[in-house]
Structure 1
Amino acid sequence: MIQLENVTKVFSGKKGSIQALDDVSLHVKKGEIFGVIGYSGAGKSTLIRCANLLERPTTGTVKVNGVDLTALSPGKLREARQKIGMIFQGFNLLKTATVYDNVAIPLKLSGLNKQEVKERVEKYLEIVGLEQKHQAYPGELSGGQKQRVAIARALAHEPEVLLCDEATSALDPDTTEAILELLLKINRDLGITILLITHEMNVIQRICDRVAVMEQGQVIEQGTVMELFTTPQKATTKKFIGSVFSHNIPESTLTHLQGNGRIALLSFFGISSGEPALALVSKHFNVFPNILSGSIIQMKQEPYGQLLVHLRGDKEEVEKAIEFLIEKGVQVEGEDHYAVNIQRVS
């Protein structure tokens, strides 16, 4: 649905040139939610603005539903953008217009008649849960309600693609969860493909199907969300995952335990997250598990959890216990994998 091929973006200024994107390629499938995550300055905002040519790439091509936007005339590009909705971190609402008019005005400017405008505004305000706020002004709304208006405005053009530029970063955790639920509903019920950028890993794990990690203008790693959680390759990816699973273990505890058995990170996902595999270890083997830390999160399709455990016992029995856990669908990693997630506290 969205194809960015070898996209480079260079900004020129008085102090020289800045390369914001460096040969970036992304393929977003029809009907999926694709996330791009990176720290400030990674290039993700430039990337999403290139997806609808608010920023024109210096080199490379951008295709949406098979149409090469970079090859279109200005008139044809404006027409193509009607099928590409966009929501922003700052909402971008008209302060002196009602909720109804904030959604209606762009529709009127696009040439729809009064009845069509009315039908669409009412339809999409109902979808975002603001059917009772038609005559309210932005100043009377909460942050979450303002974002819902912005989403309704983007949906009113009935786009095939929705671009989300840090759509939840200005919101509190409860409101963020509500907006993420709304995006899931839009994706599921309306079949709209969503490309979003964020610096928050909880957004990625909660609603995305696939994800790309950006650093210094490049995509350094991409795959399904589950792949990146279970087998991260890059330090930046591991750092983001560590923001979800942070194991605060005293240095003295780690030093003491490492000489008496093995410390391992157990990852549970899907069906295995509900299996009492760890509880069965001490029943079948001369090994005594001690849970140091852990948690379970809900991903888009299934739960995923991590437990940092100390398996106390002799080497042979511990290895048998680990083989048993793997057979039960538990992923087991040593310290080289989880070291970036451990906060060694004194």
Structure 2
Amino acid sequence: MIKLNNITKVFPSKNGVVKALNDVNLHVKKGEIHGVIGYSGAGKSTLIRCVNLLEKPTSGTVSINGVEMTSMSQEKLRKTRQKIGMIFQHFNLLKTATVYDNIAIPLKLLGYDKKEVETRVDKYLGIVDLLEKKHTYPSQLSGGQKQRVAIARALSQEPQILLSDEATSALDPETTNSILDLLLKINEELGITILLITHEMNVIQKICDYVYVIENGDLIEQGTAINLFTNPKEKTTKKFLNTISQRKLSDSLIEQLKLNGTVTRLTFIGENTGQPLLAQLSHRFKVEPNILTANIMELKNGIVGNLVIHLVGESQEVANALKFLDDNGVSTEELEGKTNE
């Protein structure tokens, strides 16, 4: 559905040039939700704006449904963009227009007749649960309601792709969850492919099938949400995971505990999260497990559990216990104070 091939974007500056994106490759399959996560200045906003060519790449190609866009004429590009909806962090609603007109005006500019405009406005306000607000003004709405209007406006052109540029970062946690539930509903019921950018790991956790981690213009890690949550490779990815799960222990605590035992992170996936495997260790082996941190995270496509435990026992018994866990589908990682993320 969306293919970015070797995308590089360079901006001129007083001190030469700034490379916002460096040889980025990205492929979003039809009907999936993909997320790009990174800190401020990582290049993620530039990346998403390259998808609909609001930013033209310095080099590389952008293809939508197999059609290469970077060489299109402006007229053809405008028509293609009509199938790519976009929602923004700050809603971008007209303050002096009603909810109805905020959605209707773009449709009128595209040449739709009055009846079709009314039909679409009512249909998509119904989908976002705001039909009763269509004659109110943005100033009378909450932040979450404003974002729902913006989503209805994007949907009213009936796009195949929806781009989300930090759409929840200005919202409180409860409202964020409601907007994420709405995006899931749109994806499942309307079959719309979604590409979003965010700096919030809980957004990735809740709705994404696939994740890209971007840093200084480079895609440094990518994979399914399950894979990234269970086996992160890069330091930046691990830092993001630390914001939603208790994965991190202090170096000094790890060093202290390792004097008389082993500190290990266990990762459980799916059905293994409900198995009493840890309870079996002390019965099967001469070890004493002590739980230091624990959590269970529900992702869009599965459940992941994390435990950090302190195992006390003879080295061979500890090794046998860890092998038992590995054999039962539990990933184990011995933590070292110097390398703990």
- The answer to whether TM tops 0.5 is yes
Per-residue CA deviation, residues 112-136 of structure 1 (Å, 9 max, x unaligned), is: 1111111111111111111111111
1:49-64 aligned within 5 A:
49-64=49-64
- Give the corresponding residue for 1:344: none
- Give the corresponding residue for 2:9: 9
- Give the corresponding residue for 2:302: 302
1:5-154 aligned within 5 A:
5-154=5-154
- Give the corresponding residue for 2:274: 274
1:288 and 1:67, CA in 2 relative to 1: closer, same or farther beyond 3 A? same
**How far apart are residue 289 of structure 1 and its match?**
1.2
**How far apart are residue 260 of structure 1 and its match?**
1.9
**How far apart are residue 248 of structure 1 and its match?**
5.9
Per-residue CA deviation, residues 235-281 of structure 1 (Å, 9 max, x unaligned), is: 11121122222346466643442122211001111111111111121
Any stretches of 5+ residues in structure 2 without a counterpart?
A: none
CA contact (8 A) 1:69 1:77 kept: yes
Return the alpha-carbon distance in structure 2 between the equivalents of residues 252 and 45 of structure 1: 38
- Give the corresponding residue for 2:183: 183
Structure 1 counterpart of 2:27, one-letter code: H
Per-residue CA deviation, residues 13-35 of structure 1 (Å, 9 max, x unaligned), is: 44432111111111111111111
- Give the corresponding residue for 1:196: 196
Per-residue CA deviation, residues 282-307 of structure 1 (Å, 9 max, x unaligned), is: 12222221111111111011111211
Return the alpha-carbon distance in structure 2 between the equivalents of residues 337 and 132 of structure 1: 57
**How far apart are residue 45 of structure 1 and its match?**
0.3
Return the alpha-carbon distance in structure 2 between the equivalents of residues 287 and 340 of structure 1: 23
Structure 1 stretch 159-168 or stretch 240-249: which is displaced more?
240-249
CA contact (8 A) 1:238 1:340 kept: no
- Give the corresponding residue for 1:264: 264
1:251 and 1:232, CA in 2 relative to 1: closer, same or farther beyond 3 A? closer
**How far apart are residue 339 of structure 1 and its match?**
4.6
Structure 1 stretch 60-69 or stretch 243-252: which is displaced more?
243-252
**How far apart are residue 227 of structure 1 and its match?**
1.5
**Which secondary structure does the structure 1 equivalent of 2:297 belong to?**
strand
Return the alpha-carbon distance in structure 1 between the equivalents of residues 129 and 206 of structure 2: 21
Per-residue CA deviation, residues 181-231 of structure 1 (Å, 9 max, x unaligned), is: 111111111111101111111111111111111111111111111112222
Return the alpha-carbon distance in structure 1 between the equivalents of residues 251 and 222 of structure 2: 33
1:231-246 aligned within 5 A:
231-246=231-246
Return the alpha-carbon distance in structure 1 between the equivalents of residues 226 and 339 of structure 2: 19
**How far apart are residue 340 of structure 1 and its match?**
3.6
2:226 aligned with 1:254: no
**How far apart are residue 97 of structure 1 and its match?**
0.8
- Give the corresponding residue for 1:315: 315
- Give the corresponding residue for 1:292: 292
TM-score, normalising length: structure 2: 0.96
Structure 1 stretch 79-88 or stretch 102-111: which is displaced more?
102-111
Return the alpha-carbon distance in structure 2 between the equivalents of residues 338 and 14 of structure 1: 40
Return the alpha-carbon distance in structure 1 between the equivalents of residues 162 and 156 of structure 2: 11
CA contact (8 A) 1:265 1:338 kept: no
Return the alpha-carbon distance in structure 2 between the equivalents of residues 309 and 31 of structure 1: 39
TM-score, normalising length: structure 1: 0.95
Taking every aligned residue pair, what percent have the same amino acid on both sides?
Answer: 60
CA contact (8 A) 1:295 1:306 kept: yes
**How far apart are residue 70 of structure 1 and its match?**
0.9
- Give the corresponding residue for 1:227: 227
Structure 1 stretch 239-248 or stretch 130-139: which is displaced more?
239-248
**How far apart are residue 94 of structure 1 and its match?**
0.5
Structure 1 stretch 223-232 or stretch 254-263: which is displaced more?
254-263
Structure 2 counterpart of 1:320, one-letter code: N
**How far apart are residue 93 of structure 1 and its match?**
0.4
RMSD, aligned CA: 1.6
Any stretches of 5+ residues in structure 1 without a counterpart?
A: 342-346
Return the alpha-carbon distance in structure 1 between the equivalents of residues 282 and 9 of structure 2: 57
Return the alpha-carbon distance in structure 1 between the equivalents of residues 338 and 325 of structure 2: 18
1:192 and 1:336, CA in 2 relative to 1: closer, same or farther beyond 3 A? farther
Structure 2 counterpart of 1:152, one-letter code: A
